A and B are shown apart, each in its own frame.
Chain A
Amino acid sequence: MKKIFKAIILSLGALLLALAPLATLARPAQAATNPSSVAAIKKRGTLRVAVFGDLKPYGWVNQDGKRVGYDVYLARRLAKDLGVKVKFIQVNANNRVDTLNANKADLVLANFTVTPERKQVVSFAKPYMKVSVGVVSKKAKPVTKVSQLKGQKLIVTKGTTAEQYFTQKQKQVQLLKFDSKTQQFNALKNGRATALADDNSYLYAWVKQHPKYTVGIKQLGASSYIAPGIKKGNTSLLKWTNREITKLNKEGFFAKDYNQELKPYFGSEVKPSDIILDK
């Protein structure tokens, strides 16, 4: 007993000792230099962009080991227009914010959806893509309106925006909930429900592989926007990126990006205007 007590005291002491210096420095000291300002990036000669490495076709690595995808194509262009080289830092969904705050990257282009919670911790530049909830069903018996789902079964994955939307807004639809994408698509193929709802950007890629199905409802509820994430307080890069995206929109860059990086992976009924923004 005494030994256990001693061990606990010791380990607590060790933790405190290690955390004490961190705590004293935890107040938000105003950094004199911003390593991600436009001037600093130009001086360094590299733009560090956080991207996904496993989200095809937005940010992934092809068989030659080259980073490609809709987000990556944009990253290369931004670096080119800044006149610097691009350096990719691969991140997961849940360390996108930390990567910015720890100055590991200047910019996040990793399918970063703008949400009110995220706006508290990072700044978002102008969006360059939109997603919303879509509904996929058999081409032979397509569901094109939500009213067709009344009293019918609909497949969703837990924790997705699709689940949220139907639980809150469409209570008359019976939901069949699954844990993973693989499970939900198998259930649809086995005919366990009339239709399946998920992010439309994901469904477009799925119907390409399964031509018997169609995304009958492309957009439900409000769209979410995907935008570049920038560290809070980095106004110089934020302003530059906003101007840049306006310019790229004018020259039709995103349609080019769409045609090269997304079109080959999407079903034929998808149009660029379902994904990219007009202005």
Chain B
Amino acid sequence: MSTSNSLLQEQQIISDQEILIAFNDASKKEKAFTWLLHRDQKKIYWFIRRMVIDHDDANDLVQEVFIKVWKSLAGFRGESKITTWLYRIASNLTITFLEQKKKKFSHIELSEGDDLKEKLYSGTYCDGNKIQMKLQEAILTLPNTQRLIFQLRYYDELKYEEISEITGTTVGGLKANYHIAAKKVEAFIKETD
């Protein structure tokens, strides 16, 4: 157990450079990819999970992200960190998924937000205290793009420059969006208390 932990720690601090060199060596390709999975899959999973709420949807999207990464990592030019690139892929797939969901609900009274809220309260893998649930419910009132920015700053604690690389929005725009989102979330919690 301790060996496995130390191995995991070693893999967690493995650099982008090492992963890329190993990935481009056919004999180490799979190993390099496993390092990457060990290092980044949790971050990506939790980011997606907080956006889509449902575990099964998050699981599908995480798999999709990493399959895309496997296909394109050899051509990765290293202009950003691999993790930032992973977040970008995950953001695009998640927003597309949520937009499709919105279209699906466009012709019935239930909205995509209502559906996510229902999943929050009835989902198999959701079980928090009153405050935790209310906070999630408040975050769900935000528009998808604003919610994404809020999650990346509030939970993933990314720098605005990194979020800018992920979303393609200016730092100024991100700051304004985060500020508005935080105010909205706080107001929702106060109003419904």
Q: Do the two chains bind?
A: no
**What residues make up the interface of B, taking CB atoms closer than 8 Å to A?**
none
**What residues make up the interface of A, taking CB atoms closer than 8 Å to B?**
none
